[in-house]
Every structure is written in C-alpha cells, then in structure tokens.
A = this chain, B = another copy of it.
C-alpha cells in the first residue's frame, strides 16, 4: 500500500501538478476538486500513464463534512495520508468595501481559512498517531499584507497564515511538518488565472510575460513542494516565498 498525498484543490495549476509530482515520487495521489470531472479524470489518467497511481474525487470543500469524510475514506480505503496539500484559493478579484457582500466575505473565509482548519483537524490526528506527516499550504501575497480591494481575500489569507503558525507550534514537535508557501505572483494556470483573464488574454500573457519566465510555472512550484516534503526534520522550513525573477516582491514598488 502506497502512502497517500492528498491534494485539496487539484485543478490544472499548482494543485494538480503537485499531485502528479508526488505520484512520481511514489505516493498515491488523491486529487480533490469542486468541478470538472473530465479534467480530473484526465489528470488521473496522465498520472497512471506515467506509471503512477491516483484517485480523483469531486468535492465541494465548503460543504459540511466533505473534507472530513474524504479524509476518513482515504485513510480507510486507500492508505495513510502522509502528505496533505491545501491548495484552495479565495481570490475574487478587487472589490471595494461596498461591493463586497457579507456572503462573499464569508465564502472567502470558508475557502481560505476554515477549510484548512477542517483539513488539519481531520488529517493531523492520524498523522500524529503514525508519528508524523507533512502539511503544505499554498498561500498568497494577501496572506502577508492587505491591499486595496482585497477585503475578503486578505482577511481569509491573513487568517490562513496565522493558523499555519499555530498549527506549526502544536504539530511540529509531533513530527508534522507544516509549511506556508507565499505564492507572490501570477501562476501559469488555466484553471485560475486563465479563468480570471479569459482564454484570449491568458494566451496573450503566456506569449509575452510567460515566454520570458514571468509567469510562475506549476511544474517548478512542484519542485519546491517536493523539496519541502523531503527536508530533514532537523532543518524544516515553515515559510518561504516564490515569485518570478522579473516580478517585484510585494514589499517593493
């Protein structure tokens, strides 16, 4: 029985690519995403064609008990979750305060903060019992500073970052590696950036900025996730940032 790498938010960007990468490293990838059964099936197929193993599940992470049940089912039927990746974004674009509904604000929190809490509650118990594990959390610039129009996103991601620090304080001594990855730039991802921009603008961006490595490549982000998971426990990284060489860090302008 292979150890499992569970990915919450396994679209055709960071999540799916990271899952594929860990499959190559010998894990059974369990890929969860909200929609697009066809995309999910294709991803599983690609992994299997490479000789890896994977399962895909459609799952609405904000609905009650979905994360909890999925974790329990995977632990029971597939294998021990050694690596969990929380990769749900909560970006809704820039909106003024008056344009940001309480509903949108709550949805940001459910995706950005609560879902991670639910995943950690579900998966860290078994990890502690087995003596260890890895929890890698994809995060964003909005986790380190609020900016105009980011009322929902920054509140959600700011909560996510400090939740990671709290999880780390409790779980690191129990041999669970919690890492918070600040993705500080645009990712070359059709399911997120692509949908935000629309196919034409996204393609144009790939051909200009992307052609010069200005878009962050999911395959190369996966290299770093993989490195984090392989770090020796005497030298764990809790937080790191990632951005293209040609992009300004969030603290510069």
Contacts and interface: CB of A to CB of B under 8 A. Distances in A.
Contacts of A242: 235-237
Contacts of A248: 169, 253
Interface string A116-150: 01101100110000000000000000111111111
Nearest to A153: B166
Contact of A164 (B146, B162, B223): B146
Contact of A220 (B168, B232, B252): B232
Interface string A219-253: 01101100100111111111111111110111111
A197 interface: no
Interface string A77-109: 000000000000000000011101010011001
Given A158-B162, A159-B159, A217-B235, 6 more contacts: A117-B155, A145-B165, A146-B161, A213-B232, A235-B244, A239-B241
B105 A245 contact: no
Given A232-B213, A237-B240, A145 B117 contact: no
Contacts of A106: 114
A155 B162 contact: yes
Nearest to A166: B146
Contacts of A142: 162
Contact of A159 (B100, B109, B244): B109
A222 B168 CA distance: 23
A107 to B, nearest CB: 12
